Amino acid sequence: MSDPNIIKLRRNTDHWSERVDLAAAFRWTAKLSMHEGVANHFSLAINDDGTKFLMNPDQTHFSRIKASDLLLVDALDPNTMKQINAPDPTAWGLHGAIHRHCSHARCAMHVHSTHATVLAALEDSTLPPIDQNCATFFNRYVIDNNYGGLAFEEEGERCATLLTDPKKKVLIMGNHGIMVFGDSVSDTFNRLYYFERACETYIRALQTGKKLSVITDDIAEKTASELDGYYDKNYRHLEELKFILDEEGSNYAS
């Protein structure tokens, strides 16, 4: 009789490079304290229409997630939550809806990082272009002001309806947190990182009580457009982080 642990290990080596990238993103998000205990989730589509995706297992801390731990989930399978290794119900509700309805959102990262969540808690969650990082997101985010409670299936479906414009790759979830999207793990993680940095700059600028110096719309759009095409930076960022994790002896890629 086959050892069930060996079967599980074999099954969880499919899409290995994607698994390794996603595990590295989990580990570094924990290092940056951008996680929320065991409550946040990342996902990555692995088929053409985006309905099958990798995501973190239920109630596992980001700092412990390994490539072989990641679940392979089918957004079109109504029996997903009946499985023994079912994902967290809110992860299924939110990410399942995104991958069912938004094929352009290949990768999705949801966090309650401090400064982005502060922005989401303001009556006006607009992020003005007061520096280059903030300008990166000019006209490239959606603000959701209709928080509907925990992201179970109904709330996830509602959030998915807000993501019709592929150009807008950040969802500022009012009174909740953020969800960031991209074409790959490296693209999405880079966007997640810089959005948190941009929010920190803005929140700290507000704390001075002084008048903000806001970049003009045309220069903000020019900056954002230039950065849209700066793909190599996204890839190199994650690759460097993987090098660091490897040097530290991390087991993320196992």
- The structural domains of the chain, ordered by start, are 4-247 (3.40.225.10)
Pick from 15, 13, 25, 14: which is nearest to 186 by CA?
25
pTM of the model: 0.93
Q: Please provide the average confidence, as pLDDT, over all residues in the chain.
A: 93
Rounded-to-integer distance, Cα 123 and Cα 140, Å = 19
Q: Is the dihedral of CA 40, 57, 98, 138 positive or negative?
A: positive
Please list the ranges in the chain whose pLDDT falls under 50: 1-10
pLDDT at 1: 41
Element (H, E) at 155: helix 153-160
Strands 170-173 and 141-144 turn out to be parallel
pLDDT at 85: 87
pLDDT at 231: 64
pLDDT at 11: 53
pLDDT at 96: 96
pLDDT at 130: 98
pLDDT at 2: 42
Pick from 152, 238, 144: which is nearest to 190 by CA?
238
Classify residue 128 by burial, with Cβ atoms within 10 Å: 0-12, 13-18, 19+. middle
